[in-house]
Structure 1
Amino acid sequence: MQSTIVSYFVYQLTYNPVTKKGDALVLGLMGLWEVIPAIGFSLFSGHFVDLLEKKGLILKCIIGYLLLTVFFMSLAWPGAHTVISRHYIIWLIYAGIFVGGALRAFLSPASFALMGMILPRKLYANATTWSSTAWQSGFVIGPLLGGFLIAASGFHGSLISVGAIELISLFAIITIPVQAILKKEKEPILKSLGEGLRFVFSTQLILAALSLDMFAVLFGGAVALLPVFSNEILKTGEVGFGWMRAAPGIGSIAMLMLLSFMPLKKKPGIKLLLSIAGFGITTILFGLCGNIADTTILGTVFGCNISWAFLLAFFMLLLGGMFDAVSVVIRSTVLQLYTPDNMRGRVAAVNTMFISSSNELGAMESGITARWMGTVPAVVFGGCMTLAVVGFTYLAAPMMRTLKLTPPKEKA
């Protein structure tokens, strides 16, 4: 929800009422300022996550996010524009995003490690599906609420709601019992980091799953350009932006609920490759929606202009979310099953570097290519590159074709 509100806020700060256009590059730079700490701090966060108690670390991260929301609220306050220029407000937002990236570098591996500690191995696959469903629910509801609240109460009022929801997450994590620290012996940080990296790069299944998802998201980051599509191409306004931002999550939830009752037991590796390929194809088709000549308004719903181009774009984003859900479940299950308990923090930190940061690198790539070749060609190019990554992975990682999502035998 906060990501949706802040990205639209920054885009509006660059909006020129004469040309009726904003600067798409600022959306890409937002991704850059988050990916720098997400990667940089992830080099060290896994080491500390393995040494520290996970629940306490997560609590500190959520408190950090609450303080960050207060910071964004102060920048979105209408009176702030009379004191600080738009140029400096944008750079202060970049600074806040940098801090958020640093917090995520610790929150993501801590959450991954905590989940592995409170669940038996035989439930990892099903638990990963439900966990992803919960996350995707927020991914759907957040952008929708963000779009509606921007239109109803402005940026400042909508960010107040973000803070209230973060308080709920703070109270939720308090109910989880304190967990034991499995890695008690201290060792040089560089040696600890090296062990985590060596494990990931020497385990073909984990490396292939991480690399495939990272490059797919890197090149298929069309979501970063949704403000451009909603304002300039499809002309749907804030509410339409919220619906399109939520579409991938709606598709993900639908697929995840299906997978909860129909687990991926047969040929999960092949299904992973096919799902990423499907994600690339829907990205291409979404980009081509921007070239549809007929943008006749069919009607207006909650202030959102509905056209055939908008409906097709929404459907492609929905399908893309369904394909992405399959890859998320398989990748997360592979990480939980094949990672030793005493290395969960470090492996999850590497996962953050690969996966979480790829969203921001993808946003940066989309912003730069949109500035260079135009918004629609940039999205189509990203989808084509995703298909190329799938083909390369199929040839380079043969173990992916025989992947099984069953717990490996424990050593005596």
Structure 2
Amino acid sequence: MTAEATSLLRHRPFLAFWLARVCTASAFQMITVAIGWHIYELTHNVLDLGLVGLVEFTPRVLFMLHTGHVADRYDRRRIASLCQIGQGLIAVALVVGASTDNVTREMIFVMAFLLGTARAFEMPTTQALLPNIVPTALFPRAVAASASAMQAATIAAPAFGGFLYAFGAFWVYTPTAVLYFIACTLVLTLPSRQAPAAQGKATLESLLAGIRFIRSRPDIFGAISLDLFAVLLGGATALLPVFAKDILLTGPWGLGLLRSAPAVGALLMSFWLARFPIERNVGRIMFAAVGVFGVTTIAFGLSTSFWFSLAVLVVLGAADMISMVIRGAFVQLETPDEMRGRVSAVNGLFIGASNQLGEFESGLTAHWLGTVPAVVLGGVGTLVVTGAWMKLFPTLAKRDKLH
């Protein structure tokens, strides 16, 4: 291990940040598995799976401009901790509902909206917080290590959540609440090294500053919009309950393993990238990784073997991690600290659109065309977007270094 990587592991603020990420990622993955299986069990409607993603995404659009301004104006530690408390209380509400057998389709939609609201404020805040607690020289490794926290949790948490759900939804929602409260405590221990906050009330000009900044830099705009459209089309996460139950013929435990499989590949890749960060040909490598994401999506859609599907999802997760680390480090390093909250909010909207809105797209397409055609066509769409973006953003495709 290099001296830089060792010093990162010994950096106490980063360690607290990393552990908080593990807790929040674990909690979110567990609650997502439970909500997905719960609503499909209640309605047996694939469109409802997509609607959950749409409802969770809606707050990112409604509050996008304000979330970035809040992250740049107020103490980022306190904002993140308040969001984690909010998510913990949502889990507590689901605990009460599950214990009294009063969880309904409508209640799940309300909880999904509130969860999306908390995450809409949490994401840009935590993204903007990371550069404040690690030296610039260690930042690319910190991005990979931070991503590894999420992926490490994503490996165990969905499988564990699926296993616990076999005993009842109550047994999933309870540890989820505990994890959110632990994350809140860890975040509050971080040092405050934020740049001086923007003064005055929020104005339309200040709220739109993040959008203008991104539009003024074609490489940044190309990178985050590539993720938006590639994952929007190629994401199949919302349909995993259908694959687990009706195509691969497993139960909640199988759904948990399917949710975990991309994280296995992503975690292994994040370890590699933390040890050997990508320093040259970053544009070509990013586009190649997105292309692999599209190919593996097609392979997953056509698979009828549970174990082959798991293997394909591992490769998919590794490819996604490469593009995510390059994009995350590149955007943060190219953005001034006083703008990071607003830029991260716009980036978070793109990420949310690619994930939650992508879930709605997957559910809607599956409702119209069938589950397998929806996933296969989505993978083909990802490949088309990759080729188009290489033509539209040639300087990004040819970019050699992150910063």
TM-score by length of 1: 0.88
Q: Read off the aligned partner of 2:126 and give its amino acid letter.
A: S
Q: What RMSD, in angstroms, separates the aligned Cα atoms of the two structures?
A: 1.3
Segments of structure 2 that go 5 or more residues without pairing to the other structure are: 1-29
Paired amino acid for 1:191: E
Rounded to whole Å, the distance in 1 between the matches of 2:353 and 2:115 is: 12
Q: Distance in 2 between matches of 1:341 and 1:28?
A: 36
SS at match of 1:154: coil
Partners in 1 of 2:258 and 2:115 — Cα distance?
24
Per-residue deviation at 1:406? 4.4
| Cα distance, 1:79 vs structure 2 | 3.4
Counterpart for residue 107 of structure 1: 122
* Partner in structure 1 of residue 93 of structure 2: 71
Q: Deviations over 1:317-361 (max 9, x none)?
A: 111001000011001011111001110110000011111232011
Residue 50 (str. 1) matches residue 64 (str. 2): no
Q: Which residue number in structure 1 is paired with residue 300 of structure 2?
A: 286
Q: What residue in structure 2 maps to residue 131 of structure 1?
A: 146
Asked whether the 8 Å contact 1:24–1:367 carries over to 2, the reply is yes
2:162 is equivalent to residue 147 of structure 1: yes
Larger Rg: 1
1:294 maps to: none
TM superposition shift of 1:390: 0.1
Measure, in 1, the Cα distance between the counterparts of 2:149 and 2:74. Answer: 26
Partner in structure 2 of residue 366 of structure 1:
362
- On the 8 A contact 1:47/1:189 being kept in 2, the answer is no
Q: SS at 1:80's partner residue? A: coil
Q: Is the Cα–Cα contact under 8 Å of residues 69 and 202 in structure 2 kept in the other structure? A: no
Aligned partner of 1:178: which letter? S
What's 1:178 paired with?
192
Letter in 2 for 1:110: T
Q: In 2, are the aligned partners of 1:53 and 1:181 still within 8 Å (CA)? A: no
Which of 247, 262, 266 aligns to 2:280? It is 266
Separation of aligned partners in 1, 2:97 and 2:355: 24
Note closer, same or farther for the CA distance 1:63–1:134 as it changes in structure 2 (3 Å cut). Answer: same
391, 396, 402: which one aligns with 2:387: 391
Instruction: Measure, in 2, the Cα distance between the counterparts of 1:212 and 1:368.
Output: 22
Q: 1:2 aligns with which of 24, 31, 51?
A: 31
**What is aligned with 2:330?**
334
Q: What is the CA–CA distance in structure 1 between the aligned matches of 2:364 and 2:216, rounded to whole Å?
A: 34
Range with greater deviation from structure 2 (397-406 or 36-45): 397-406
Q: Distance in 2 between matches of 1:242 and 1:337?
A: 35
CA distance in 2, matches of 1:216, 1:283: 11
Conserved in 1, the CA contact under 8 Å of 2:281 and 2:401?
A: no
Question: Distance between the aligned counterparts of 1:181 and 1:257, measured in 2?
Answer: 30
Out of 165, 169, 175, the residue aligned to residue 161 of structure 1 is: 175
Give the drift of 1:224: 0.9
Moved over 3 A (4+): 404-407
Q: Deviations over 1:88-127 (max 9, x none)?
A: x111110111111111111011101111111222211111
Structure 2 residue 403 is matched with structure 1 residue 401: no
Match of 1:85 in 2: none
State the partner residue of 1:306: none
Displacement after TM superposition at 1:135 (Å): 1.1
Identical positions, percent: 38
CA distance in 2, matches of 1:44, 1:170: 22
Aligned to 2:49: 27
Match of 1:202 in 2: 216
CA deviations 1:227-273 (Å, max 9, x no partner) are 00111111111111110110000110011111112211120100100
Shift of 1:47: 1.1
Q: Is the 8 A contact 1:124 1:336 kept in 2?
A: no
> How far is 1:58 from its partner?
0.9
Bigger mean CA deviation after superposition, 41-50 or 324-333: 41-50
Secondary structure, aligned partner of 1:184:
coil
Counterpart Cα distance in 2 of 1:267 and 1:24? 41
Q: Give the equivalent residue in structure 2 for 1:118.
A: 133
Q: Give the 3-state SS of the residue equivalent to 2:168 in structure 1.
A: helix
Structure 2 CA distance, aligned partners of 1:366 and 1:143? 20
Question: Which residue identity is paired with 1:247?
Answer: A
CA–CA distance in structure 2, aligned partners of residues 241 and 265 of structure 1: 36
CA distance in 2, matches of 1:405, 1:59: 34
Structure 1 counterpart of 2:270, one-letter code? L
Distance in 1 (CA, whole Å) between partners of 2:62 and 2:137 is: 34
Look up the match of 1:305.
none
Deviation, structure 1 residue 181 = 4.6
> In the aligned structure 1, how far is the partner of 2:127 from the partner of 2:171?
32
How many Å separate the matches in 2 of 1:338 and 1:209?
12
Matched, 1:39 2:35: no
> 1:183 offset after TM fit, Å?
2.6
Which residue number corresponds to residue 250 of structure 1?
Answer: 264
**Residue 207 of structure 2: aligned partner:** 193
Offset at 1:194?
A: 2.0
- Asked whether the 8 Å contact 1:333–1:405 carries over to 2, the reply is no
Give the Cα–Cα distance (whole angstroms) in 2 for the partners of residues 317 and 399 of structure 1: 30
Measured in 1, the distance between the counterparts of 2:214 and 2:402 equals: 19
Which residue identity lines up with residue 278 of structure 1 in the other structure?
Answer: V
